[in-house]
Structure 1
Amino acid sequence: MTNVQPGQLPLKSRILTLTSSSSESSSTSSENENQKNKKELVPVRATAGRMRRGGALPMQRAEPIHVPNQVAQMPIVMTGFVSLVPHTVLDAIAMTNCLMVVQCTEPLEIFTGIETPNRYVVHDMYLRPILFCAEKSNFISRECCGSGRNFTMEIRDMYGAELMKCYRDNPCFSCTDFLGTQFQGQQIGLMKKECCDGDFKLLGAGCNQPLLIRSPCCASCGGTQIFPVLTYTGIKVGEIVRLYPGFLQEAFTDADTYLVHFPYDLPPILKLLLISSVFLIDFTYFEDNN
């Protein structure tokens, strides 16, 4: 009597079974594995895809975006930032010096005038989408507070997994507007704006050297607007450019497109904070199309 372990066939049966099914298993193993991976990824990709509704995404390019007035490298060394959890998005933005933030148009808002949650897509220099951003706010605050409303911006990667979260804190009767940013649950920075000051201050967690985002004189007048990004010593290290969307789009919707460019060697934590700073700039100057 052979010694058969639980779940194991006798040797002779195993040989016959393996011989008869070897060709079939070899042809179907890769197919079954692909179907399994497909079943796991399809729901997640569908979730990310639903965040893009309301407007066509820019077409991908074979050549990167040409960025004028580009700063080659950081003029000063900024250190002391908190360590970030490794992620593929960090690897992607580490190799780029420009990001495009595109706000999706919302048909319901265009035809009815009802304010809907904002949605944005972040692209790299080749216009490949890397992040999807969706505002979370209630209907009453959108209708009553308009562009001054508080919100939470959920930022997800290509597969729908939550990566970052931004939250705006603009309490009533307060002179200071705050935008906090978290990366995978970790606080990485804060952006603030005083009501008597047209500039934004951006501070990364762990570093006492803030960045200054200077507002143009007539930022809310429409057209292309440039927000220079300066170091704490006043040296320019990049720009946030709000592109002119065209007369019809600017008249009937508040959807905008922003270019964010910076040196390649800018710390990744500051690149993430510059992405989140676009939301506060958009709500401060360009959210109300009236």
Structure 2
Amino acid sequence: MNIQPGQQPLKSLISAESDDVTSSENSENENSQKKLVVRARAGRMRRGGPMPVARAEPICVPNQVAAMPIVMTGFVSLVPHTVLDAIALTNCLMVVQCTEPLEIFTGIETPNRYVVHDMYLRPMLFCNERSNFISRECCGSGRNFSMDIRDVFGAELMRCYRDNPCFSCTDYLGTQFQGQQIGLMKRECCDGHFNLLGAGCNQPLLIMSPCCASCGGTKIFPVCTYTGVKIGEIVRLYPGFLQEHLTDADTYLVHFPVDLPPILKLLLISSVFLIDFTFFEDDN
């Protein structure tokens, strides 16, 4: 019999004597289920506090673009996945960075972790930084890293990698989907804006940085087409005085037209990581 983790066997499927199940067995089952719930909550708290609670109604985000002003084609074909089906129906995503208690109390830089939610605040993707201790302590926010992005079942979906060689004036962030290269984000050191290019298309997106982006507060990064037409925004929400000065954990809203090609939606999610490392990773 296939029994899922935490599930108690059904006596009615084992024997016809299920009517003789005692109340003591039922109480033991209820106690074990309660223990499982407590352990899940404690583990979640231990990993930086509870995530946002799912809602019955979606969050309303202002300044949304109803439809793409231009047609962008030529992108590489993506392997079908349920995540692609989900983001094809949404016009906004929330990227929440997890707080790290060890980093708060000791000052030791730990790998960043993010959770991507839809507008019902249901988790869709889990992102974990892969980097070594020396690069985190010596290079800080300028370190190279790879970001493993997994779905809710734990299967690896995407991988982002930052390439910022020493003495280089250009910062790169490449993105792979199911092992396939789907795009590249680039930023010159003398330019505050980011260029985002999807694989197979020669029409890049421009992510514009606000003035004094790293000074704190809510910051808006407009997303424009190559002709300068605004199609969305990446908004870094103000976390509050205490969180901003004690941690570098941030929350971002990424909104775009519903009919934006799915490959660009994936690239906008990954672009949050480079924006976060460039402007908001070092807490002051």
TM-score (norm 2): 0.85
Query: Does the 8 A contact of 2:44 with 2:50 survive in 1?
Result: no
Which residue in the other structure is 1:112 paired with? 106
Which residue in the other structure is 1:180 paired with? 174
Q: Does 1:27 align with 2:13?
A: yes
Which residue in the other structure is 1:243 paired with? 237
Partner of residue 75 from structure 1, selected from 69, 80, 89? 69
Which residue in the other structure is 1:279 paired with? 273
Cα distance between partner residues in 1 of 2:140 and 2:67: 39
Q: Map residues 84-233 of structure 1 onto 2, 5 A cutoff.
A: 84-233=78-227
Name the amino acid aligned to 1:283.
F
Cα distance between partner residues in 2 of 1:191 and 1:239: 16
Cα distance between partner residues in 2 of 1:193 and 1:206: 20
Name the amino acid aligned to 2:159.
K
Task: Give the Å deviation of 1:218.
Answer: 1.0
Name the amino acid aligned to 1:148.
G
Gaps of 5+ in 1: 1-23, 30-45
TM-score (norm 1): 0.83
Cα distance between partner residues in 2 of 1:198 and 1:267: 25
CA-to-partner distance for each residue in 1:118-168, whole Å, 9 max, x for gaps?
000000010000000000000000000000000000000001100000000
Aligned residues: 250
Cα distance between partner residues in 1 of 2:49 and 2:175: 26
SS in 1 for 2:47: coil
**Larger Cα-atom Rg:** 1
Query: Does the 8 A contact of 1:179 with 1:191 survive in 2?
Result: yes
Cα distance between partner residues in 2 of 1:187 and 1:118: 23
Query: Does the 8 A contact of 1:51 with 1:119 survive in 2?
Result: no
Instruction: Return closer, same or farther for 1:25/1:134 CA change in 2, 3 Å cut-off.
Output: closer
Task: Give the Å deviation of 1:54.
Answer: 1.4
Q: Does 1:53 align with 2:39?
A: no
Cα distance between partner residues in 2 of 1:52 and 1:155: 21
Cα distance between partner residues in 1 of 2:253 and 2:46: 19
Instruction: Return closer, same or farther for 1:105/1:133 CA change in 2, 3 Å cut-off.
Output: same
Gaps of 5+ in 2: 1-9, 16-39
SS in 1 for 2:181: strand
Cα distance between partner residues in 2 of 1:207 and 1:225: 29
Task: Give the Å deviation of 1:25.
Answer: 12
- For the aligned residue pairs, the C-alpha RMSD in angstroms reads 2.0
Instruction: Return closer, same or farther for 1:81/1:108 CA change in 2, 3 Å cut-off.
Output: same
Task: Give the Å deviation of 1:53.
Answer: 2.1
Task: Give the Å deviation of 1:27.
Answer: 3.4
